[in-house]
Structure 1
Amino acid sequence: MKKVTFYIMQESKNGTEASMPQHHILACKLAGEFYQQGQRVYIHANDESAANQVDEYLWQLDANSFVPHNLQGEGPRNGAPVEIGFQPPCHRYQVLINLHDQTPQFAVNFNQIIDFVPHQDGLKQQARERYKHYRQTGLQLLTVNVE
């Protein structure tokens, strides 16, 4: 059965957001874990700027944590193991990591979907809407609290 895992974010310890949102950093970490398991991952961002930010973050990881990735439309013909974009993916992936405010229409094409509940009220409400949509679609829903 296809499943959706929501990671529930807590307010950052210092009370301020870093230059990149916590859930984007966690998304990069999870993409690396899925890559290590041999799974292909598509990270869906809100827009080109957000996709570029995730791309830059992945390039800054140390050599031991390197995740082969590319922005959508770049890289090898069949795509890298991890692709970052803001349009529907052109290749097949097992895992969708959703950083978009809305539920992507193509989400049902993935076996596993990762989504996030940021601690900010407006973003939290958008996450509730995505949760409802996934539930109405009949997907198995799980939640994980992030400390």
Structure 2
Amino acid sequence: MTRIDFHSNVADKLNYSCRLIRKAHAANCKMVVYHHDRAWLQRLNEALWTLTEADFLPHVMLSDPLSAMTPIVLSHDEHAACPHHELLINLTAATPANFTQFQRMIEVISADDADKLAGRERYRHYQQQGHTLTHSVAK
């Protein structure tokens, strides 16, 4: 069963996501980062290239032929087959359809009231399904 971690009260979701991806990559984790909005993913793509001069975070879009060999995959299609099933980072306000394929999922919840409400609803949903849940508040 998928382990689900909630990271809530995130002030800057883009910056926080970059740091989270960097941390997971440093732990040799292969991941899929999901957001339904292609434009948002493009901003994330650009931010990952410019996060720091010292970090190289190899990433591609899911549609890229190199996605199976790349540890960080960005996806806007929750129904597409994913090359990695270790970690899913959900950056949307909805439950990804394919989340049960992953060993672990991190839900990133912003400080926005609508995002917090949607996050609480997903938390209850996962809890009712019997998933192991953890929660941490962003600093």
TM-score above 0.5, yes or no:
yes
Task: Classify the secondary structure of the residue corresponding to 1:108.
Answer: helix
Q: Look up the match of 2:53.
A: 63
Could you list the runs of 4 or more consecutive aligned residues of structure 1 that deviate by over 3 angstroms after TM superposition? none
Write out aligned runs for 1:52-131 (5 A): 52-76=42-66, 78-88=68-78, 89-131=81-123
Q: Secondary structure at the match of 1:136?
A: helix
Q: Percent identity?
A: 24
Letter of the aligned partner of 1:37 in structure 2?
A
Partners of 2:14 and 2:85 lie apart in 1 by 19
Q: CA RMSD in A?
A: 1.7
Whole-angstrom CA distance in 2 between matches of 1:130 and 1:24? 21
Q: Which residue of structure 1 aligns with residue 2 of structure 2?
A: 2
**Cα drift, residue 50 of structure 1:** 1.2
Residue 32 of structure 1 corresponds to 22
Q: Report what 2:125 is aligned to.
A: 133
Contact 2:90-2:107 within 8 A present in 1 as well: yes
Figure out how many residues of one structure are paired with residues of the other and give that number: 137
Structure 2 counterpart SS, 1:128: helix
Q: Distance in 1 between matches of 2:58 and 2:87?
A: 15
**Structure 1: how far apart are the matches of 2:50 and 2:4?**
28
Q: CA-to-partner distance for each residue in 1:86-127, whole Å, 9 max, x for gaps?
A: 113431230110001200011111111111221111111111
TM norm structure 2: 0.89
Amino acid at match of 1:92: H
Residue by residue over 1:10-41, the C-alpha shift from the partner in whole angstroms, topping out at 9 and shown as x without a partner, is 5x5xxxxxxxxx12321221111111111101
2:37 paired residue among 27, 40, 47: 47
Q: Which amino acid aligns with 2:85?
A: Y
State the alpha-carbon separation in 2 of the partners of residues 78 and 46 from structure 1.
Answer: 20
Q: Which runs of 5+ in 2 are unaligned?
A: none
